[in-house]
């Protein structure tokens, strides 16, 4: 039987996959089935909170479909107990209006039983 991964090891795996452009692989491999994902903001009429792995996968697919990523930098993980943070720094173009912009966000992840059970995103709107 494999020994449990530490919070830092889970965070490092997430960072390594994201640095390789495999964000959806990170979601599929590291997130719990009952993950809760909370955005700093949401489009009008939508909740900033997504619940469940399938909802997070769909949210990720929608984000990828709506944005062209020119450059992505990932920094971390920064562990503390059962949580860790990661800094994402993106140069992206929104496909709908062709607006190119820089986006920097901090993600706070919580780990339980070798899976990420919660993620909170912090960014300036």
> Over its length of 125 residues, how does the chain's per-residue pLDDT go in tens digits?
567 899 999 999 999 999 999 999 999 999 999 999 999 987 777 789 999 999 999 988 988 999 999 999 999 999 999 999 999 999 999 999 999 999 999 999 999 999 999 999 998 75
What pLDDT was estimated at residue 2? 65
CA distance 125 to 118: 21
Q: Is 1 helix (H, G, I), strand (E, B) or coil?
A: coil
Rounded alpha-carbon distances, angstroms, from residue 5 to 8, 11, 12, 35: 8, 10, 10, 18
Residue with tokens 């860790």: 84
Q: Residue 53: how many CB atoms within 10 A of its CB?
A: 17
Instruction: Return the pLDDT at 67.
Output: 92
- What is the per-residue pLDDT for 25? 94
Residues 6+ apart with CB under 8 A from 42: 48
Domains defined for the chain, CATH in brackets: 7-40+48-123 (3.10.450.50)
Q: What is the pLDDT of residue 45?
A: 79
């Amino acid at each position: 039987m494999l020994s449990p991964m530490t919070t830092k090891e889970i965070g490092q795996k997430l960072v390594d996959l994201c640095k390789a452009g495999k964000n959806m692989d990170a979601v599929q491999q590291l997130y719990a089935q009952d993950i809760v994902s909370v955005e700093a903001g949401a489009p009008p009429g939508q909740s900033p909170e997504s619940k469940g792995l399938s909802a997070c996968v769909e949210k990720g697919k929608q984000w990828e479909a709506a944005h062209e990523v020119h450059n992505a930098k990932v920094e971390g993980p920064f562990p503390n107990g059962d949580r860790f943070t990661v800094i994402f720094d993106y140069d992206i173009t929104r496909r709908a209006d062709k607006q190119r912009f820089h986006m920097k966000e901090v993600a706070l992840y919580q780990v339980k039983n070798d899976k990420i059970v919660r993620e909170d995103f912090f960014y300036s709107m």
